Amino acid sequence: MTEVAAKKPGWRVLLRALGQRKTGFMLLFGFAAGLPYALLLGTLYAWLSEAQVDLETMGVFSLIGLAYAFKFLWSPLLDRVDLPLLRRLGKRKQWIVTAQLLLGAILVLLSLLNPVDALGWFSLLAGIGAFASATQDVVIDAWRVDVADEKATIDILSTVYQMGYRAAALVGGALALILAARIGWPQVYAIMGAILLVIGFLGLFAPDAKRSAEADAADQGEVSELRLPGAIAPKVRRNCLIAVGVLWAWALIVVGVFMVRSLGADPETRPDSAAFIATFGPLIVIATVIVPTAIAAWLVRVERQGRYLLSEAQPAQSGFDRAIDHGYRALILPLIDFVGRLGWAVVVVFALVLTYRITDSIWGTFAYPFYLGELKYSNDEVAIASKFFGVGATILGLALGGAMLTLLGRMLTLTLGALLAALTNLLYADLALGGLRIGAASDLIGFTTLVEGLGGDQRLANLMLVIGGENLATGIAGAAFVAYLSSIVARRYSAVQYALLSSLTMLVGTLGRGALGQMIEQRGYYDVFVLTTLMGLVAVVLCGVEWFRIRNQGRNAGLNEAALAGA
């Protein structure tokens, strides 16, 4: 596992980690990851609305978010392929810097276009920007895992990344809206593009992971470990690679064709996005996750049983042989490593990943309809509660989560985060019934008086308290979850493994929103919040199971070391 040798938790560990150069660049990279996401999947719609682009077209623009959900499909390339002339920048930096400079240029180009007169170019640039942003996310996640050490720990780097990401959401969201009202949207996007260009330049000076000798040997055409005695026979590896490659290629083509048809077709001929997600979403998960994982598990079993193994070295004879080796190393070995290390526990890990963030990810799409349509809050009230107070609460939660990771440990913080995130849905359930309990609590702690003194009222205090409580819990859970994911991936395959896990987190919310929308229409918001609370408690149970597994694994490792020492 990637987990760095743990020091005894304490404030010294925390302060030493915060003072590291890597931590500063992690904050910068987190900001660079969050800014294009906020601008392309959030603030952009405010610009389109102001330009009087129709709602159906704006709905199609939202499909560029699929790039983030399916980013794992091209993550193997990012682990193995070097960019021409940029390899000397470093294994990860070559991609990070390129993506940031490309994103900066795209935002500047968007500022030069009128979204009404040049909608085709506008959508094309936004789509390219989403893919560049998702690519940057994959590589930054891998960079975080690669550079972590005993001083700049994975827990602190994960927390700092989240803080930078959330700060970018504030800059790309609330601040962008404020600036646009004064200087205009083109100027705002030009400024944001310039910021990313500057960050791309500063990224040249960031530390980077060293390329492994094994990877260099493979690049130079030497006999790889895949063709030494004891390795799985090339024919077996080739067949497995073809099977997984076809499945991943099919998924990538299906998503790509759907996005091109949606962004480029007339409104009358556009495909139904809800039907696509409902039909192809589960199939893509089966094709790209479940079946390849089963194949990897079979390969692990074959190797352990000593079947289909080479008895002598078999060097690659052609370019095709070397291409198969490269493809197997990029696509299959990350899955084999994951299954080989975790065994049957991979089922628990996948279940935890699928459910941990479901309480906030699955209903987030319906937040504004709930605030504005159901509860009749004004736009200004929602902006104050969610964009300012809410983001501040999230950043505070991230800081608290980072401290808890260092002082309490990763799994306890992960479990507490899951519990808090689940229970805060009950705050929304009370708000859906009128907010009597929330109002009483707000009065008791003096929060209502504070809000009224600043020009608000009881209803605004209730909304701020609920959103603040949820975002505080989300910050704690987010810091713990990113740290957990970063700890269970291997440095050698960090890009593929982390991208796969983080994509699963987004996919389950995407696939479940249609059913949740129907439930809201049929039964109302209260029942939905009770349901999401129960779903969140499932994640709490899974955290307990995973915690037990990790403790048991550590105990067994300690017993083995003691036995070896005694021998």
pLDDT at position 397 is 92
pLDDT at 360 over 90: no
Tell me what the pLDDT averaged over the chain comes to. 83
Which candidate, 372, 348, 359, 365, places its Cα nearest to that of 277?
A: 365
- Residues 405, 411, 415, CA angle at the centre, nearest 5°? 100
Beta carbons of 57 and 160 less than 8 angstroms apart: no
Name the amino acid, one letter, at 159. T
- Residues 281, 284, 286, CA angle at the centre, nearest 5°? 110
Token pair in block for residue 565: 């020492």
The distance of Cα 173 from the centroid of its chain, to the nearest Å, equals 19
| Overall pTM > 0.75 | yes
pLDDT at position 372 is 77
pLDDT at position 270 is 67
| Sequence-separated (6 or more) residues with CB below 8 Å from residue 388 | 174
pLDDT at position 557 is 56
Token pair in block for residue 507: 């996919």
Token pair in block for residue 19: 């003072």
Whole-number Cα distances in Å, 230 to 302, 324, 399, 492: 11, 18, 48, 21
pLDDT at position 513 is 62
- Is residue 567 helix, strand or coil? coil
Dihedral of the CA atoms 296, 299, 300, 303 (nearest 10)?
A: -160
246 or 520, higher pLDDT: 246
The pLDDT of 377-381, averaged and rounded, is: 80
pLDDT at position 465 is 93
The pLDDT of 308-331, averaged and rounded, is: 86
pLDDT at position 3 is 40
Beta carbons of 159 and 399 less than 8 angstroms apart: yes
Look at the alpha carbons of 353, 356, 359, 361 in this order and tell me if their dihedral is positive or negative.
negative
130 or 68, higher pLDDT: 130
Predicted confidence band of residue 413 (pLDDT cuts 50, 70, 90): very high
Residues 76 and 130: their CA atoms lie apart, in Å, by 18
Which candidate, 311, 175, 284, 263, places its Cα nearest to that of 510?
A: 284
pLDDT at 336 over 80: yes
Which candidate, 438, 535, 424, 525, places its Cα nearest to that of 471?
A: 424
- Is residue 309 helix, strand or coil? strand
482 or 555, higher pLDDT: 482
Residue at token pair 């107070």: 389
Which candidate, 362, 131, 103, places its Cα nearest to that of 263?
A: 131
Predicted confidence band of residue 62 (pLDDT cuts 50, 70, 90): low
Beta carbons of 316 and 225 less than 8 angstroms apart: no
pLDDT at 566 over 70: no
Which candidate, 236, 251, 337, places its Cα nearest to that of 286?
A: 251
pLDDT at position 559 is 46
pLDDT at position 16 is 62
With a pLDDT cut of 90, the percent of the chain lying above it is 34
Name the amino acid, one letter, at 186. P
H-helix segments, 86-118 = 93-111
Q: What is the pLDDT of residues 12-26, one digit of tens each?
A: 555 565 667 888 899
Dihedral of the CA atoms 66, 26, 386, 103 (nearest 10)?
A: -50
Give me the DSSP letters along 174-236: IIHHHHHHHH-HHHHHHHHHHHHHHHHHHGGGS--PPPPHHHHHHHTTPPPGGGSTTSBPHHH
pLDDT at 138 over 80: yes
Residues 329 and 218: their CA atoms lie apart, in Å, by 10
The pLDDT of 486-500, averaged and rounded, is: 87
| Sequence-separated (6 or more) residues with CB below 8 Å from residue 434 | none
Name the amino acid, one letter, at 520. I
Residues 85 and 93: their CA atoms lie apart, in Å, by 13
pLDDT at position 359 is 75
pLDDT at position 26 is 92
Q: Among 120-134, 350-364, 400-414, which is the least confidently predicted range?
A: 350-364
Beta carbons of 74 and 135 less than 8 angstroms apart: yes
Q: What is the pLDDT of residues 243-256, one digit of tens each?
A: 999 998 898 888 77
pLDDT at 211 over 50: yes
The distance of Cα 392 from the centroid of its chain, to the nearest Å, equals 20
pLDDT at position 477 is 93
Token pair in block for residue 262: 């949606």
Which candidate, 505, 564, 149, 192, places its Cα nearest to that of 357?
A: 505
Q: Where are the domains of the chain?
A: 1-211
Phi, psi of 115 (to 5 degrees): -65, -15
The pLDDT of 408-417, averaged and rounded, is: 93
Cβ count near 247 (within 10 Å): 20
Dihedral of the CA atoms 197, 200, 201, 203 (nearest 10)?
A: 160
Residues 332 and 281: their CA atoms lie apart, in Å, by 22
Residue at token pair 């024919």: 235
Q: Which of 107-116, 119-128, 256-265, 378-387 has the highest mean pLDDT?
A: 107-116
Whole-number Cα distances in Å, 390 to 185, 236, 476: 24, 53, 14
pLDDT at position 496 is 86
User: Given this structure, which CATH class describes domain 1-211?
Assistant: mainly alpha
Q: What is the pLDDT of residues 229-239, one digit of tens each?
A: 899 999 999 99
Beta carbons of 508 and 293 less than 8 angstroms apart: no
